[in-house]
Amino acid sequence: MMYLKLLFIACLVLLPLSSHAADDGYGYPIPGSYEATILGTPASLMPVFPAEMNTRQLVLEVIPGRRKPPIFFYDEGLRCSFAYQEKKAPLVFLIAGAGASDRAPKLLTMMKAFYQAGYHVITLPSPSHANFIISASQSRIPGDLTEDSADLYRAMEVAWKQVEGDIEVSSFNLCGYSLGGSQAAFVAKLDEERRVFNFRKVLMINPPVSLYSSATRIEDLMKQIPGGPKKQGIFFNRMLSKFSQFYRYGNFVAINDDFLYSIYTQRLFTPEETAGLIGLTYRINLAGMIFSSDVMTNSGYVVPKNRVLSPTDSIFDYFLVSTHLSFMDYFNEYLYPYFQKQRPGLTKQAFVDTLSLKSIAGYLKSSAKFGVMTNENDFILTREEQDYLRQLFGERAKFYPRGGHLGNLEYKENLAYMVAFFK
């Protein structure tokens, strides 16, 4: 392993991009937005964490008596990860990004960083993750920032009740990345009324300003696929054969970090293909949300209405159908109609407007507890949206020159900034 690591570092040093790093004094090495998003942070550039942590997994009954269809037999409640100090300490809730669970690798890294700095930590899955939809979403229909945040708040209360007796807490804090970043803002706003936690500080990492706008930009990545998003299967299969050919021509020992990294250095995929792969990953993720929500609500969207799926039924066709649906399809055919029924007279534009940080801008500006950390080349934000964040948060908006969408989240400098923000 040592040898591999050395090779890995050597590759990094030899890359032309290392000169780039020296220019602005920021050491995160990957300049491309898409590449950074996919590759994340090389292990050698992450901080060293303590080997042992006091952790346990919480399985919470957030909605008592929630009935779960047989296909979700394995879902026993909302899963949260909990790391605790043995002395009085501040607690931070971490909210995962779109489609991610409480044990998403990025979330666990953040957890370790906070733990190391002496915090208690509770991680929560994203309200767009199947586990949350099944066990903690009141409507079972994710996508509305206000409702999802109310669900999150309830989940936090239940989690806190569960651990209250075991730890001593000096203050509550909140942090989330990507979609979870925007949700953190809405959760904090709700807390101003409910006053259960009185969050001391709130950090949003790579948040979208407007959900609809950011989702559109991610969906646009799929347009770079030849034939467009509806031909994603063909695209997937072509990329896969490219991938396996590359392996067979090269002299690789196994599919490991070394191999994956050489895909990057050898520029196996073009920028368009890289964009397409990000879009496709997002779609595969989204498919899990669409399917779970549809099964939970019996809406007949991708699964026939009234069909009861058993744990051994094949659901592959639903996988293919769901991955072919875009966020816009979900929004126009499923999400918006549901909320239109709930709030008569709600126009589409008015609904889109509520799914934005701009809808609570007054509150965000007035409160000194907020901060944002993002990247200049995060493709989910437009230039105007970046300026908006700068203007809204002033000095509390930290922009890194690169890192794409979350690519540099696990980089040591970023983690250090994140932890220091809560000091």
Partner 1 sequence: MKIVIRYRACLTILSLMLTLPLAGCATTSADIHAEVPARHTISEFKDQSFAEVADPWEGFNRSMYRFNFYFDKYLFLPVVYGYEFITPTFVQKRVSGFYNNLGEVRNLTNSLFQLKGKESVTTLGRFVTNSTLGLGGLFDPATSFGLERHDQDFGKTLGYWGADSGPYLVLPIFGPSSLRDTGGLAVDSAITYGIYAAIDPFANTGNSFAISSGITTMNAIDSRHQQSFRYYESGYPFEYYMVRFFYHEKRQIESGKPLPAE
Question: Binding of partner 1 at residue 266 (CB under 8 A)?
Answer: no
The C-alpha atoms of residue 92 and residue 73 are separated, in whole angstroms, by 31
Least distance in angstroms from the C-beta of 170 to partner 1: 30
Q: SS3 of 99, please?
A: coil
> Among 24, 164, 168, 317, which residue sits at the site for partner 1 (rule: CB under 8 A)?
317
The C-alpha atoms of residue 173 and residue 188 are separated, in whole angstroms, by 9
Q: What is the per-residue binding string for partner 1 in 78-107, x denoting contact by CB under 8 A?
A: -x---------------------x-x----
Q: Which is nearer to partner 1, 247 or 399 (CB)?
A: 247
Question: Binding of partner 1 at residue 310 (CB under 8 A)?
Answer: yes
> Among 27, 118, 271, 304, which residue sits at the site for partner 1 (rule: CB under 8 A)?
304
Least distance in angstroms from the C-beta of 359 to partner 1: 30
Question: Binding of partner 1 at residue 268 (CB under 8 A)?
Answer: no
Give the pair of three-digit tokens for residue 156.
């936090």
Phi, psi of 41, rounded to the nearest 5 degrees: -110, 130
Q: Which is nearer to partner 1, 14 or 240 (CB)?
A: 240
Q: 167 — alpha (psi -120 to 50), left (phi > 0) or beta?
A: beta
Q: Which is nearer to partner 1, 4 or 392 (CB)?
A: 4
Distance, first Cα to last Cα, the chain: 36
Give the pair of three-digit tokens for residue 254.
């196994």
Q: Which is nearer to partner 1, 303 or 418 (CB)?
A: 303
Least distance in angstroms from the C-beta of 339 to partner 1: 18
Q: Which is nearer to partner 1, 12 or 100 (CB)?
A: 100
Strands across the sheet containing 55-60: 55-60, 78-83, 120-124, 89-95, 169-177, 202-205, 370-375, 397-400
Least distance in angstroms from the C-beta of 127 to partner 1: 13
Least distance in angstroms from the C-beta of 271 to partner 1: 22
Single-letter residue type at 46: M
Question: Binding of partner 1 at residue 48 (CB under 8 A)?
Answer: no
Give me the helix-helix angle, 412-421 and 105-116, nearest 10°: 60
The C-alpha atoms of residue 100 and residue 127 are separated, in whole angstroms, by 9
Q: Following DSSP, what letter does each residue of 106-133 receive, concatenated?
A: HHHHHHHHHHHTT-EEEEE--TTSHHHH
Residues near 269 by beta carbon (within 8 Å), at least 6 away in sequence: 239, 242, 263, 277
Q: Which is nearer to partner 1, 102 or 385 (CB)?
A: 102
Residues at the interface with partner 1 (CB under 8 A): 1-3, 51, 70-75, 79, 101, 103, 125, 129-131, 230-234, 236-237, 240, 243-245, 247-249, 251, 253-255, 284, 287-288, 291-292, 295, 300-308, 310-317, 319-321, 324-325, 329, 333
